[in-house]
Chains A and B, each alone.
Chain A
Amino acid sequence: MTFLYTAYSITMAILFGYIFYLGSKQTKVIKEIESLKELYK
């Protein structure tokens, strides 16, 4: 069972880690776009 739990945990950690990576990338880009738009209104 330990091997099964390890494999499943690794899978979920990578998938959810990737979602968090995408989320932080999106936030960073949106913040930069909005600050530029604000600056050049």
Chain B
Amino acid sequence: MSFFKNEEELGLNLNTRTTLVNHIVYGIAFAMILVSAYLIFIYSNIEKTMGAVQKIFYVHVGTAWNALLAFGVVFVCSILYLATKKRIYDVYATVAAEIGVVFIIIVMLTGPIWARSAWNVWWSWEPKLTSALILFFIYIAYTMIRFMDGSWDKKARLCAVFGIIGFIDVPIVYFASEWWGSKFHPTVVGQEGGGLEGNMVFALVFTVFAFSFFLTALIHKGVRIEKARIELQHMKDKIAEKIGR
């Protein structure tokens, strides 16, 4: 029995239960996180100047990269939503923004811990850190819009515009060190880099991929839950309509 007619129109799949695919995706994500822990704590070399505390770098960069990736998903889905008006893109943007906020919270917590132990400061108002803090507030505000009163399509339109404008800060965060220099974020990977040994680069790349896989798994699960929540709302509306008649 289906409570609403327009489920095809919404592009929704009403199968809300956790499937075998979900379990496999989560299993791989957990396995990758375990392997990355081995690479971080045991496999990779200890950096000579900072010592073991430099290993925070792997988690910090891995989560930062994936926060930016999640906000990229919000940006693309926001454009697609405004272009097509299909709710499924709004669902993806909602979920990706929420997960992006979770990742950026980790970045904002691990960064100061690393800075305190390596440079004896918790925070510095340098461009990269300041723009990252602004990014954090932008997406906190984005998430708060979702809890506002009003119809979903109005909120979706507002969030899509916010998601597109807010994304301007992402390349600023990414290139801030290159453009304005940074005491705490030197270039270590790439042509100008050279501060990382081979096994450190491998541990970093693997950790970034592990978190990316984790991000994908979380988005997949989050979208299914959001679809289920929309279905529930439709059912409630339908019932209220029947009772009211």
Contact = CB atoms under 8 A, between A and B. Distances in A.
A6 B111 CA distance: 12
Interface of B is mostly: helix
Given A22-B222, A26-B221, A36-B235, A14 B55 contact: no
A26 B40 CA distance: 33
A14 B105 contact: yes
Size band of the interface chain A makes with B = 20 to 34
A29 to B, nearest CB: 5
Given A14-B106, A32-B232, A40 B113 contact: no
A22 to B, nearest CB: 6
Q: How large is the interface on B (under 10, 10 to 19, 20 to 34, 35 or more residues)?
A: 35 or more
Interface of B: 1, 3, 16-18, 37, 40, 52-53, 55-56, 59-60, 63, 99, 102, 105-106, 109-110, 113-114, 116-117, 214, 218, 221-222, 224-225, 228-229, 231-232, 235-236, 239
Interface of A: 1, 3-4, 6-8, 10-11, 14-15, 18-19, 22, 25-26, 29-30, 32-33, 36-37, 40-41
Ranked 9 nearest A-B pairs via Cβ: A3-B117, A7-B110, A7-B56, A29-B228, A7-B113, A26-B225, A3-B53, A11-B59, A18-B102
